[in-house]
Amino acid sequence: MSTGPLMPKATAVWLVDNTSLSFEQIADFCKLHPLEVKGIADGEVAAGIKGLDPVVAGQLTRDEIEKAEKDRNHPLKLAVSSVRIPEQKRKKGPRYTPLSRRQDRPNAILWLLRNHAELKDAQIMRLVGTTKTTIQQIRDRTHWNAATLSPLDPVTLGLCSQIDLDFEVAKAAKDRPASVESSGQTLLPAEITTAKEPVQQPFASLNAPKEEEERIDAESVFAKLKPLKGRRGEDDDE
């Protein structure tokens, strides 16, 4: 059962114009902010909205209004309808779109394709009441009016509610598999990353040839000195 009137702003307009209820009482009944009700009274809010008589609509009784007018602390209570309307199950298939709104469907489809690419064609069909062929034509820009189309929010156009749109977007995000981006590189095995690197002696490769060269040079020097030593001995004997 609803906790407020079916058309809150239209009901508030009628209550402001036809009763002496306070802004707080009207705001509480219509689920609006008191400043919004004050704006309605000043003509700044809900301009052009025709007032809806809640008594005729069966949402309030005349006795309830009079009781609230006498007592500013008395909150208005929604009248309980004696007629129970059975809840209608939502039929599967494209949503019915009024004739006045059908010309806006291509713009809404373009908005959905650009802002919610994760939506499936069947979900777009449910939201705006279109066909798969039309969706494909707008996606491929082969639609007869593709040059003049502009993306427009289907909620703003009145083609679907924000709740339905959020539901379909959440459902599409839930069904979409998580994409894992990979650069093609893999991690090295643990035995390679944890292995100790061999300790290299600095200049080890340079020292070995140098020592061998020094040894060869020393032997050649001693070999040259031997004849000189023998000749010096002969000189001393003379």
pLDDT digits over 8-34, tens only?
889 999 999 999 999 999 999 998 999
- For the stretch 82-134, pLDDT in tens is 555 555 555 555 555 555 566 888 999 999 999 998 999 999 999 988 889 99
Distance CA 26, CA 46 (A): 14
Neighbours of 137 (CB within 10 A): 17
Task: Quote the pLDDT of residue 183.
Answer: 45
Tell me what pLDDT residue 111 has.
93
Per-residue pLDDT tens digits for 127-178: 988 889 999 999 999 988 888 999 999 888 888 888 999 899 888 888 766 5
**What is the pLDDT, as a whole number, of residue 160?**
86
